[in-house]
Amino acid sequence: MDAAPMLAVQGDAMLQNEEVAAMLRLRDLGWGAKRLAREFGCARNTVRRYLREGGPAPFRKPQRRTVFDGLDDWLQERFFRHAGNADVIRQELASEHGIVIGLRLVELRVRCWRRELKARTQATTRFETAPGQQLQIDFRDTRVWIGDERVRVHEIGQADL
């Protein structure tokens, strides 16, 4: 068999619906997966998948297990508690859950919450305290005349007491 047509067909992303329907009809006539793969220019595993699914099957990304499975709520709570410090989260994963992993994996896992953390830190709420409960100090400098010379003076002033 000539290899050039095989490569041209393999370059296509997926078989067309009509081709898969024809593949199913040929299977009903007794054609095997190997013969169908040669006829349609695709891998035998591709043919087997179409036959098993009974028609065109969309691509499904396999679900891979990670060390973070089941820890989403815990990770999110710790992320905001520690102001996004992934290294502290990594250390707590090791001490509390016995999961020893690299910092970069933790950083990649918590990056989805970084925008929310930034929004939370930028949003400020003004609050008032009772007199004597909080001290506010203003740092400023001014120029004053001492004798016949103008001198810069640094002063600390109390505001809103």
Per-residue confidence (pLDDT) for residue 159, from 0 to 100 = 54
Answer whether 0.85 is exceeded by the pTM: no
Give the DSSP per-residue string, 126-148: -----TTS--EEEEEEEEEEETT
Per-residue confidence (pLDDT) for residue 107, from 0 to 100 = 95
**CA 156: distance to chain centroid?**
47
Q: The tokens of 41 are what?
A: 């220019």
Per-residue confidence (pLDDT) for residue 31, from 0 to 100 = 92
CA-based angle 126:130:135, to the nearest 5? 80
Per-residue confidence (pLDDT) for residue 56, from 0 to 100 = 78
Strands 149-159 and 136-146: antiparallel
Per-residue confidence (pLDDT) for residue 131, from 0 to 100 = 82
d(C-alpha 91, C-alpha 97), whole Å:
10
Nearest to 113 by CA among 85, 88, 94: 85
Give 18-50 pLDDT, tens digit per residue: 888 899 999 999 999 999 999 988 899 989 988
Per-residue confidence (pLDDT) for residue 160, from 0 to 100 = 47
DSSP state of 91: H
Averaged over successive runs of 10 residues, the pLDDT of the chain (161 residues) comes to 38 70 91 92 90 80 89 94 94 95 95 90 76 79 90 73 44
